[in-house]
A and B are shown apart, each in its own frame.
Chain A
């Protein structure tokens, strides 16, 4: 009921001018790091094309590749589970924990490395309610878990926070000195805290960056090594993956690892690229394959290739709107341009303002490592929002009226003349009234000339 739309949340974000500057510059710095890592690779554009085409092929044969992956994973001794939606996913994860981790007199302890899918499924809250302690082990994720906030970015979940904010949070939760903001000291405090959690964990959950049909193995990319620490210490490893994470063959992987980290953070490759194939002696490995709206998106011809996304976050870093409105203004697990084309598939009514949270500048499509035509899809979602009668009434009827005027030249000519006349005679305070005219909050209107071009032409050239 209290749901706020993107313009409202973005306006609130922009109230703090300096912080908006800082947020924009921080993300732009990441975009520039990406550029420095990308420009020297002569075949980078070919890699994008290849990555896009491999995903095209995979999405067209997804049923076969998923079955191939399942069969090979089972051969490797992995248990494979299928979840139609978020609720099923969460239930499966809990059932695995209940049957595989027998603990007496205390809560089961789970360590989790970064997984946007489990954010999407709201797994943490569900498990906590069922007496399972969940600790996010990615530093950024742990910070926002302490603060009970959703991630504001898919690669840098706490990018909306300054080091002072983190210092405050760690003082409250980890007992660091009040006012401490030295990143090295804060990181060390988190490291010590998380080591205890790793050692005590019964079960480790990871996401999946790539699942290889040919081998039945999967790949997790991290910079902190937290996935490996968790998985190697706990008895049970659960990996949650969306159905779109499949790639056909092992030799396709390098195409994506070359693109992923360069696009995400400007690194040549993530610090850890961990391959998981089979459980170690005496341990269990589970894979939960989740749909949760993905097949519905696959069935939408105009939007299916949004499923190519490898979650690098480059479209967020490049987006001039995201940088100046923050991830939370999107109010969806995946923010930014890619979130704005994924969210209407899940709940069009709730997220109807997101396809409009863009100038359609097209930077997202040009930066995307798998060539998703994001801005084209934003335009197409806008039309669907319009067709489903979800536009504000003023816009809907205003546009209908404007369309009529613009298809009748005489009405257009006269209307323009009258409007210009009014603008010339009305006092500035009225034409620039900020409550009636949002344009005028920060901008002057153009001077209304006496003659339109047409009128000039008629007088001088006819």
Chain B
């Protein structure tokens, strides 16, 4: 089983610790991981801005970088969704089809490929889980409140089994944080307001550590936490599962 690690551009540049935690976690779980050095980005920033034609070169580079691997694992539901869903505008060569099929969000890979249901980590903190929309509704990694009242999903399944953890029960379990790629600056007022409302929900219900499967949502939410000096520590799910402490 040849497994490659894909560290999305903004994680590479701004959140290297999330990349390190992902790599260490996968290695602890017995996976031999390759990291192709020529990787850059999945192409989503341009595509969501209405410029997917400009992204074709980035798509081609991504496929070229990762086509030789059986699995491509990444700590981002959003990038995974983009590759699976939106790489349909380039020629569907065997390599493109293989890459679209092989890319996995980290927790999905742990649960459904490695078949690991529990990770032995102590995490005695009150944790609020932010569901990223692309992971939740895009990849169907968690139930959507439009469909059912049962709140469950891949990340919460793993989190619940950590020793000492308490999960926050939010008023709105799956409301978008308002990041939305270039939306965060193009629609700054609404984006910021959505983020503030998410943080208020977490504060109201006692979150001390805020986590999620997508650094993009967390970067936006952390930006608000820091501006407000709110007593919340933001960590990516890979960091928690790797045994890092707040």
Residues in chain A within 8 A of chain B (CB atoms):
6-7, 10-11, 13-14, 20, 24, 28, 35, 39, 45, 318, 320-321, 324-325, 355-363, 365-367, 379, 382-387, 391, 395-396, 399-400, 402-404, 406-409, 412, 416, 419-420, 438-439, 441-449, 451-458, 461
Report A386 CB to chain B, min CB distance, Å. Answer: 3
Among A382, A391, A407, A445, contact of B58 (Cβ-Cβ < 8 Å): A407
Identify 21 residue pairs between A and B in the complex whose beta-carbon atoms are under 8 Å apart, listed by A's number.
Answer: A7-B187, A324-B193, A355-B50, A356-B50, A356-B182, A362-B137, A366-B144, A379-B48, A395-B50, A399-B46, A403-B58, A407-B40, A412-B40, A419-B13, A442-B223, A444-B222, A449-B16, A449-B17, A452-B16, A456-B16, A457-B19
Chain A: which residue is nearest B52 at the CB level?
A383
Not counting A383-B52, A446-B219, A446-B222, a sample of 19 additional A-B residue pairs whose C-beta atoms are within 8 angstroms of each other reads: A24-B197, A324-B190, A358-B180, A361-B180, A363-B174, A386-B53, A387-B53, A403-B51, A406-B40, A406-B58, A409-B37, A412-B9, A412-B41, A420-B13, A442-B227, A448-B13, A448-B14, A449-B15, A454-B7
Chain A: which residue is nearest B51 at the CB level?
A399
The answer to whether B50 touches A385, judged by C-beta atoms less than 8 angstroms apart, is yes
Q: Which of B177-198 contact A (CB under 8 A)?
A: 178-197
- The interface residues of chain B lying within 8 Å CB-to-CB of A361 are 133, 137, 176, 180
Majority-rule SS of A interface residues:
helix
Among A318, A360, A454, contact of B180 (Cβ-Cβ < 8 Å): A360
Q: Do A14 and B14 contact each other (CB < 8 Å), given the known contacts A35-B145, A382-B48, A406-B40?
A: no
- The interface residues of chain B lying within 8 Å CB-to-CB of A11 are 188-189
- Segment at the A interface, from B92-100, B107-115, B146-154: B146-154
Listed from nearest, the 5 A-B pairs whose CB atoms lie closest are A443-B223, A359-B180, A386-B50, A453-B19, A442-B192
Does any Cβ of A come within 8 Å of B246's Cβ?
A: no
Q: Which of B191-246 contact A (CB under 8 A)?
A: 191-197, 219-220, 222-224, 226-227
Q: Which of B4-33 contact A (CB under 8 A)?
A: 7, 9, 11-17, 19-20, 23
Cα of A28 to Cα of B48 in the assembled complex, Å: 27
The answer to whether A452 touches B13, judged by C-beta atoms less than 8 angstroms apart, is yes
- The interface residues of chain B lying within 8 Å CB-to-CB of A357 are 187, 190
Chain A: which residue is nearest B138 at the CB level?
A362
Among B13, B45, B48, B176, contact of A320 (Cβ-Cβ < 8 Å): B176
Q: Do A359 and B183 contact each other (CB < 8 Å), given the known contacts A409-B38, A442-B195?
A: yes
- The interface residues of chain B lying within 8 Å CB-to-CB of A325 are 190
Report A367 CB to chain B, min CB distance, Å. Answer: 4
Between A363, A409, A453, the greatest number of chain B beta carbons within 10 A of the residue's beta carbon is seen for A453
Chain A: which residue is nearest B180 at the CB level?
A359
- The interface residues of chain B lying within 8 Å CB-to-CB of A379 are 47-48, 86
Between B184, B187, B194, B226, the greatest number of chain A beta carbons within 10 A of the residue's beta carbon is seen for B187
Cα of A39 to Cα of B145 in the assembled complex, Å: 9
- The interface residues of chain B lying within 8 Å CB-to-CB of A443 are 192, 195, 220, 223-224, 226-227
The answer to whether B190 touches A446, judged by C-beta atoms less than 8 angstroms apart, is no
Q: Do A366 and B176 contact each other (CB < 8 Å), given the known contacts A356-B187, A360-B133, A403-B58?
A: no
The answer to whether A28 touches B172, judged by C-beta atoms less than 8 angstroms apart, is yes
The answer to whether B39 touches A409, judged by C-beta atoms less than 8 angstroms apart, is yes
Q: Do A321 and B13 contact each other (CB < 8 Å), given the known contacts A442-B192, A443-B223, A444-B227?
A: no
The answer to whether A39 touches B180, judged by C-beta atoms less than 8 angstroms apart, is no
Does any Cβ of A come within 8 Å of B119's Cβ?
A: no
The answer to whether A14 touches B190, judged by C-beta atoms less than 8 angstroms apart, is yes
Cα of A320 to Cα of B144 in the assembled complex, Å: 15
Cα of A384 to Cα of B187 in the assembled complex, Å: 20
Does any Cβ of A come within 8 Å of B76's Cβ?
A: no
Among A20, A391, A453, contact of B50 (Cβ-Cβ < 8 Å): A391
Among A6, A400, A448, contact of B51 (Cβ-Cβ < 8 Å): A400
Does any Cβ of A come within 8 Å of B175's Cβ?
A: yes
- The interface residues of chain A lying within 8 Å CB-to-CB of B9 are 406, 412, 416
- The interface residues of chain B lying within 8 Å CB-to-CB of A10 are 187, 189-190
Does any Cβ of A come within 8 Å of B164's Cβ?
A: no
Does any Cβ of A come within 8 Å of B57's Cβ?
A: yes
- The interface residues of chain B lying within 8 Å CB-to-CB of A321 are 187, 190, 194
- The interface residues of chain A lying within 8 Å CB-to-CB of B39 are 409
The answer to whether A449 touches B176, judged by C-beta atoms less than 8 angstroms apart, is no
- The interface residues of chain B lying within 8 Å CB-to-CB of A457 are 19, 23, 35, 37
Does any Cβ of A come within 8 Å of B55's Cβ?
A: yes
Q: Mark B127-169, 1 if CB is under 8 A from A, else 0.
A: 0000001100110000011111100000000000000000000
